[in-house]
Structures are given as structure tokens and as C-alpha cells.
């Protein structure tokens, strides 16, 4: 019974056995055994509060280290931007305002007052009456000048690009059909093709003996003389930039809520009213951005105008290049600054074309130049031939050192592309991380980082040439780089903004709780970025890498200035040199470049999966 009572806890404590674990001795022995086990097992013998304090201090220290690491990475990107972009651009400004060692604005005054550059507007800067100048500008025989013509052709090119790009975006966003994903991946291909190769395709397509004039001849129509005219320049720019418009606006069109359109229709709105009131406001930002980018790109056009226009159709970029060839660096720099100011201040919004007309125009504008180039590379006056490719092989085998050889051009393009990618990809990812965090000054950081998009390659090339290739003295130390290093820098500057624009939207769309969960499980900020965030936006990273690599392979404007010899020529420069001889070898080299560019872009884009960025 006593055992029973003890089990029920009804007897006094003194009735319990001496070995009861509630006795002081038992508790002492148990505590000793517990401490002994703790020591034996290697467990800590510290109060819980001390452990928590230690963990907090460890996390605080780790957080400070990560913030400093991010600051160091940001500072590294800033240093690279300063060295590869801002210092060269500032060098161009200095060249424009410092003549013979003295600061002066005389070169700007001469340019602004010269009708050759500004047409009738130059009279305004010369002090004439604005009313008189305005009256003359409205007359049929007004002169635009080089700057005016550059703006005019850029405006026409923007109209054509938006008009061709919007219907493509609508089809890709609203229709399901076999091959849609592949077609979407390939829509950006014309944009990343080298512009000099686009010019070759248009020469092959619209030449007197090209397929378009041959087809017109079959139906009794006369040939069209579009080469070396404003029409050819505008069409080539549309071929080049309409895919960019389509890519940027497709995502915006896909995000339009179809139920909102149906609701508007059910309330009595017609198709046009529903589009204007519901769809259009959601498309305006993407259309405006794509139109602005198109205007900036076509305003700073160089290879297309150089190949498809004569001197009467010269743009600012072409004339800057001519001034550089004439070693007139001061006037070239001043004209480049004028171009830069205009390109940074442009915004445009332009109309669309009908879908039925668009389909026919798209075949002529997009498919015909590439198909014609492929055809011209394997044909001549006698029919099908491989002589053009044989010429490339023979040039490689027996060409002189100063002549353009195919293999070095291919090798240089791939090496420069890989090196530029190695610089542009980490720069772009770091800038994307910095521009998607919430902190004071984020918009300023984004504007500074995206400035290279608004500056043409020829301006960057001129700045790198004068500032780094020719050498500069800092603290008594002469600093100079080779042409190859400068080319890689120019290519990286051109490519990394596209990495930012493809990675940043993905980072912004991530659920913040994912990052918080990773941090709660003990992951550091860097670990969370590498193990959680970047894998989730990996398609954007890969798409940005494809852009950076393809843009490097096709870059011409800066490379043609910075290449110091035939051993640094790339495929676009080789094409430009071959054009001066005859069209066949240029088209054969263009096909080689087309294969390399399209293969790299499609493969990398496929590896990255479906991405809705640029």
C-alpha cells in the first residue's frame, strides 16, 4: 500500500526511497552526470542568454561584413565605369573645349553658326531674327544641315520601327501557334546582328540585280532605285530596331488583363474605345521607352549610313568619323558633344500600321535582306558558286599581313566577345542588385549606370582613343592601354546595360519572403543572393549574357576607331573592308558572322529558358 501511496504522491516526501531523483542528492548527482555527459559529448556549458548574445553579435558582424563587401563590389563597378566610360566621355568634352592648351567655346560657336551642320537654324545662333528664320524654315527649299538631317532620319526610322514592331508584339502576346516560343527567341536576332552586315543584306536585296528588282521585272515593273537613299537607311534602321520594339512591348501586352477589356466591352465600349481606354494606357510606357531607345540608336547611327548613304546623306556620326580620319579632334569632339546633348533629351511617340500590310512589309524588310545575303554568298553572274567562300580561304592562306584575313577576324570577335562578357556580366548583375534595393539615391545610381545606352559607340571609341590608347598622365605616371584592351572596354560598356535590364526585372518580381526565409535559416546576404535569388532569375542572367556576347561580336562603331591594325580587326570590320572590293566576299563573311551570332544567341537563350525581359 505504501508503494501505492508513494506512486500516487499521497505520502509525505520523507516516505520516498532515498534514491528518489527528486531528492537533493539525486538532483546533485543528476546534474553532475548531465555536466559530465555535456563535457564528454563536447557540448557547450554556457547559459542560454550568453549563447543568444553570441549569435546576435555573430549575425551583426556578418551583416557588417556583407554590407562592406557589397560596398566594395559597388565601388569596383564605379571604378570600372569611370575608367571605361566616364573618363573617355569627359576626355571628349575636354577635347571640345580645350584648344592649344586654352579653354574656349570657339569650336562650338563655329559649329552652331555653320549652316553645314544646322542648316537654316544656324542663322539663329548667328543672331538673326527668329521670325525670319521660322519663315524660311517653312519654305520648300529649306536646308536641314547635318544635325537637322540626323534628327529627321532618326524620326522617320523611329516611326517605321514602332509601326513594324507593335504588330509583332501583339501577335506574340495574344496568339498561340506552333513555334511561338522559338519565334519569340528569334525576334531579337536582327537587333543583335552587326549593323554592317545588315547593310550588306540590304545591298544584296535592293540592288539592281537583287531579288526584289528581279521579281518586279517578272511582272513588268521597272526597278526601284532605293540603294544609297534615305529610303534604304530608314528601312535598314527599321529592320534593326523593330525587333527591339517588339521585345519590349510584348511583355507589356501580355500583362494586360483580358477581363478588363471584356468588362469595357460589356459596358458598351466599342473595340477602339476599349483599346484606347484600357489597353493603350498600359502599353504607353513600354512604347514610349522603345521609341525613345530607337530614336537614340538611330540618331547615333553610323555603319548603316556609312554603307547605304553617300555624303549628301551623312549623319553626325559619319561626319565625326570623317573628322577623326582628318585628325581634326577638336571639331570632332565638339560635334560629338552636340550629338550627345541632343540624344539625351529626345522622347518620341509614333503611330502603328495595319496587320495585313505589316505581314507583307515584314517579309520584305526582315527576311529579304538575310535571304538575299545568303543567296549572294553562293551565286555570281554565272550561277551557283562557292568562289566567294574560296576567296576567304585563299585570303587566309596567302594574304599579306596588312590585308584582312578571315580567321583572325573570327578569332578576335570571339575573344573580344568572351572578354567583354567576362566584364559585362558581373558588372550588370552587381548593378542590377544595387538598383533593385531600397535606399536613398537609388534612382541616381540607375541613371548613372544606364548612361552608356544614350552614348554612341563612336563617342566612347573617340574618348578611349584620346584618353587611354594615346595615354594619359596621372600623378606623374603615364597610363596607356593597347587597342585590344580598349576594344574590350568599349564592348563591355555597350553590353552590360542589357544585362542590367534583363536581370533587374526578375529581382524586383521575387517574393521578399523568400529572402527573409533564407536569412531566418541562417543564410548570409551573399549566400541568399547566390543560392536563392540568382537561381530564380537565371533565365534573365543567361539572356543578358547572350545580349552582351552578341552585341560585342557585332560592335563596329568603337572598334573601327580603336583597332590599331589588321591583327585586331573583327568580323564586322572585315565585312566593311570586303564591301570596298566586291559584294560576294562580304556576303560570305556576313554568313559566317550570321551563323556565329545566331547560334550563340539562340543556344544561350534556350539554355536560359523563357524570359520576358528585353
pLDDT per position as a tens digit, 518-576: 777 777 777 777 788 888 888 778 878 888 888 898 888 899 889 877 788 999 888 88
pLDDT for residue 7 is more than 50: no
- 171 & 248 share domain: yes
Q: Per mean pLDDT, which range of 111-115, 240-244, 264-268, 441-445 is the poorest?
A: 264-268
Establish how many alpha carbons lie within 13 A of residue 549's alpha carbon, considering only the half-sphere containing its beta carbon: 21
Q: What is the mean pLDDT of the chain?
A: 75
- 155 & 84 share domain: no
Q: How far is CA 270 from CA 55, 65, 166, 246, 275, in A?
A: 64, 60, 21, 26, 8
- 217 & 277 share domain: yes
pLDDT for residue 3 is more than 60: no
pLDDT for residue 216 is more than 90: no
Measured distance CA(507)–CA(504) in Å, rounded: 5
pLDDT for residue 315 is more than 80: no
355-411 confidence digits (pLDDT tens) = 455 556 556 666 777 777 788 888 877 778 888 888 888 888 877 666 778 888 888
- 502 & 610 share domain: yes
Would you say 612 and 184 are in contact if contact means Cβ atoms under 8 Å apart?
A: no
pLDDT for residue 420 is more than 90: yes
Measured distance CA(456)–CA(346) in Å, rounded: 14
User: Which is more confidently placed, 48 or 601?
Assistant: 601
Mean pLDDT, range 345-364, rounded to an integer: 49
- The domain tally of the chain equals 2
What is the CATH number for 486?
1.10.3720.10
* 355 assigned to some structural domain: no
The helix/strand/coil state of 479 is strand
* 320 assigned to some structural domain: no
**284 — pLDDT class (breaks 50, 70, 90):** confident
Instruction: Return the pLDDT at 360.
Output: 61
Measured distance CA(492)–CA(527) in Å, rounded: 27
C-beta atoms surrounding 24 within 10 Å: 7
User: Which is more confidently placed, 467 or 144?
Assistant: 467
* 352 assigned to some structural domain: no
Instruction: Return the pLDDT at 25.
Output: 47
Instruction: Return the pLDDT at 581.
Output: 65
Q: Would you state the cell numbers that stand for residue 530, as one nine-digit string?
A: 547566390
* 39 assigned to some structural domain: no
- 456 & 562 share domain: yes
Measured distance CA(161)–CA(244) in Å, rounded: 9
309: nearest Cα among 372, 383, 231, 252:
231
pLDDT for residue 18 is more than 60: no
The helix/strand/coil state of 477 is strand
Q: Would you state the cell numbers that stand for residue 600, as one nine-digit string?
A: 550563340
Q: Would you state the cell numbers that stand for residue 536, as one nine-digit string?
A: 530564380
**13 — pLDDT class (breaks 50, 70, 90):** very low
pLDDT for residue 348 is more than 50: no
- 507 & 542 share domain: yes
Q: Give the global pTM.
A: 0.60
* 142 assigned to some structural domain: no
Residue 17, classified by CB atoms within 10 Å of its CB into exposed (0-12), middle (13-18) or buried (19+), is: exposed
Backbone angles phi, psi at 595, to 5 degrees: -65, -45
* 580 assigned to some structural domain: yes
- 366 & 447 share domain: no
**423 — pLDDT class (breaks 50, 70, 90):** very high
**1 — pLDDT class (breaks 50, 70, 90):** very low
pLDDT for residue 138 is more than 50: no
Instruction: Return the pLDDT at 327.
Output: 67
Residue 139, classified by CB atoms within 10 Å of its CB into exposed (0-12), middle (13-18) or buried (19+), is: exposed
For the chain, what percent of residues have pLDDT higher than 90? 6
Domain residues for the domain of 212 are 148-315+361-377
Mean pLDDT, range 481-502, rounded to an integer: 90
- 307 & 415 share domain: no
Secondary structure letter of residue 470 according to DSSP: S
60-105 confidence digits (pLDDT tens) = 666 677 677 777 888 888 888 888 888 888 888 888 888 777 888 8
Backbone angles phi, psi at 610, to 5 degrees: -80, 120
pLDDT for residue 479 is more than 60: yes
Could you give the residue ranges of the DSSP H alpha helices within 465-570?
483-509, 512-520, 525-528, 534-536, 538-554, 557-562
- Secondary structure, 3-state, 153-185: HHHHHHHHHHHHHHHHHHHHHHCCCCCHHHHHH
Q: Would you state the cell numbers that stand for residue 579, as one nine-digit string?
A: 564591301
- 368 & 434 share domain: no
**489 — pLDDT class (breaks 50, 70, 90):** very high
Backbone angles phi, psi at 556, to 5 degrees: -125, -45
- 416 & 477 share domain: yes
- 222 & 293 share domain: yes
Q: Per mean pLDDT, which range of 132-141, 297-306, 430-439, 471-480 is the poorest?
A: 132-141
For the chain, what percent of residues have pLDDT higher than 70? 75
Would you say 216 and 224 are in contact if contact means Cβ atoms under 8 Å apart?
A: yes
* 262 assigned to some structural domain: yes
- 445 & 484 share domain: yes
Measured distance CA(360)–CA(98) in Å, rounded: 53
* 52 assigned to some structural domain: no
Amino acid at each position: 500500500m505504501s508503494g501505492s501511496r508513494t506512486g500516487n504522491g499521497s505520502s509525505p516526501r520523507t516516505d520516498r526511497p532515498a534514491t528518489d531523483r527528486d531528492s537533493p542528492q539525486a538532483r546533485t548527482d543528476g546534474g553532475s552526470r548531465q555536466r559530465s555527459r555535456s563535457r564528454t559529448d563536447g557540448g557547450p556549458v554556457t547559459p542560454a542568454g550568453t549563447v543568444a548574445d553570441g549569435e546576435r553579435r555573430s549575425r551583426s558582424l556578418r551583416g557588417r561584413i556583407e554590407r562592406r563587401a557589397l560596398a566594395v563590389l559597388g565601388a569596383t563597378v564605379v571604378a570600372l565605369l569611370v575608367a571605361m566610360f566616364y573618363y573617355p566621355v569627359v576626355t571628349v568634352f575636354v577635347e571640345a573645349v580645350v584648344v592649344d592648351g586654352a579653354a574656349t567655346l570657339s569650336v562650338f560657336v563655329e559649329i552652331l553658326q555653320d549652316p553645314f551642320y544646322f542648316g537654316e537654324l544656324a542663322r539663329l545662333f548667328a543672331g538673326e531674327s527668329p521670325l525670319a528664320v521660322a519663315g524660311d524654315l517653312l519654305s520648300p527649299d529649306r536646308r536641314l544641315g547635318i544635325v537637322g538631317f540626323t534628327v529627321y532620319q532618326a524620326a522617320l526610322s523611329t516611326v517605321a520601327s514602332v509601326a513594324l514592331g507593335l504588330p509583332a508584339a501583339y501577335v506574340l502576346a495574344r496568339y498561340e501557334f506552333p513555334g511561338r516560343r522559338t519565334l519569340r527567341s528569334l525576334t531579337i536576332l536582327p537587333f543583335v546582328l552587326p549593323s554592317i552586315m545588315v547593310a550588306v543584306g540590304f545591298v544584296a536585296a535592293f540592288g539592281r540585280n537583287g531579288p526584289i528588282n528581279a521579281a518586279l521585272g517578272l511582272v513588268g515593273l521597272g526597278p526601284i532605285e532605293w540603294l544609297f537613299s534615305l529610303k534604304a537607311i530608314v528601312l535598314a534602321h527599321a529592320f534593326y530596331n523593330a525587333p527591339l520594339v517588339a521585345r519590349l512591348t510584348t511583355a507589356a501586352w501580355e500583362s494586360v488583363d483580358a477581363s478588363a477589356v471584356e468588362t469595357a466591352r460589356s459596358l458598351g465600349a466599342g473595340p477602339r474605345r476599349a483599346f484606347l481606354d484600357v489597353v493603350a494606357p498600359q502599353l504607353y510606357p513600354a512604347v514610349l521607352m522603345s521609341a525613345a531607345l530607337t530614336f537614340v540608336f538611330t540618331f547615333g547611327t553610323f555603319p548603316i549610313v556609312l554603307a547605304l548613304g553617300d555624303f549628301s546623306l551623312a549623319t553626325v556620326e559619319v561626319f565625326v568619323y570623317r573628322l577623326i580620319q582628318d585628325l581634326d579632334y577638336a571639331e570632332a569632339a565638339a560635334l560629338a558633344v552636340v550629338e550627345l546633348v541632343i540624344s539625351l533629351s529626345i522622347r518620341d511617340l509614333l503611330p502603328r500600321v495595319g496587320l495585313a500590310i505589316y505581314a507583307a512589309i515584314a517579309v520584305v524588310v526582315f527576311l529579304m535582306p538575310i535571304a538575299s545575303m545568303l543567296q549572294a554568298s553562293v551565286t555570281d553572274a554565272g550561277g551557283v558558286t562557292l568562289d566567294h567562300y574560296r576567296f576567304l580561304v585563299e585570303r587566309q592562306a596567302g594574304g599579306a599581313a596588312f590585308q584582312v584575313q578571315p580567321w583572325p577576324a573570327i578569332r578576335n570577335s570571339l575573344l573580344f566577345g568572351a572578354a567583354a562578357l567576362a566584364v559585362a556580366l558581373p558588372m550588370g548583375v552587381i548593378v542590377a542588385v544595387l538598383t533593385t534595393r531600397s535606399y536613398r539615391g537609388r534612382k541616381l545610381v540607375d541613371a548613372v549606370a544606364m548612361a552608356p545606352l544614350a552614348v554612341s559607340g563612336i563617342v566612347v571609341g573617340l574618348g578611349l582613343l584620346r584618353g587611354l590608347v594615346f595615354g594619359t598622365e596621372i600623378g606623374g605616371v603615364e597610363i596607356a592601354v593597347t587597342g585590344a584592351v580598349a576594344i574590350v572596354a568599349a564592348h563591355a560598356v555597350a553590353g552590360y546595360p542589357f544585362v542590367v535590364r534583363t536581370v533587374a526585372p526578375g529581382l524586383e518580381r521575387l517574393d521578399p519572403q523568400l529572402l527573409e526565409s533564407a536569412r531566418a535559416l541562417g543564410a548570409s546576404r551573399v549566400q541568399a543572393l547566390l543560392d536563392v535569388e540568382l537561381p530564380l532569375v537565371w533565365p534573365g542572367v543567361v539572356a543578358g549574357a547572350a545580349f552582351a556576347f552578341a552585341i560585342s561580336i557585332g560592335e563596329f562603331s568603337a572598334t573601327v576607331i580603336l583597332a590599331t591594325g589588321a591583327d585586331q580587326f573583327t568580323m564586322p570590320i572585315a565585312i566593311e573592308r570586303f564591301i570596298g572590293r566586291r559584294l560576294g566576299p562580304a556576303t560570305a563573311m556576313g554568313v559566317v558572322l550570321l551563323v556565329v551570332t545566331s547560334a550563340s544567341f539562340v543556344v544561350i537563350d534556350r539554355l536560359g529558358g523563357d524570359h520576358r525581359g528585353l
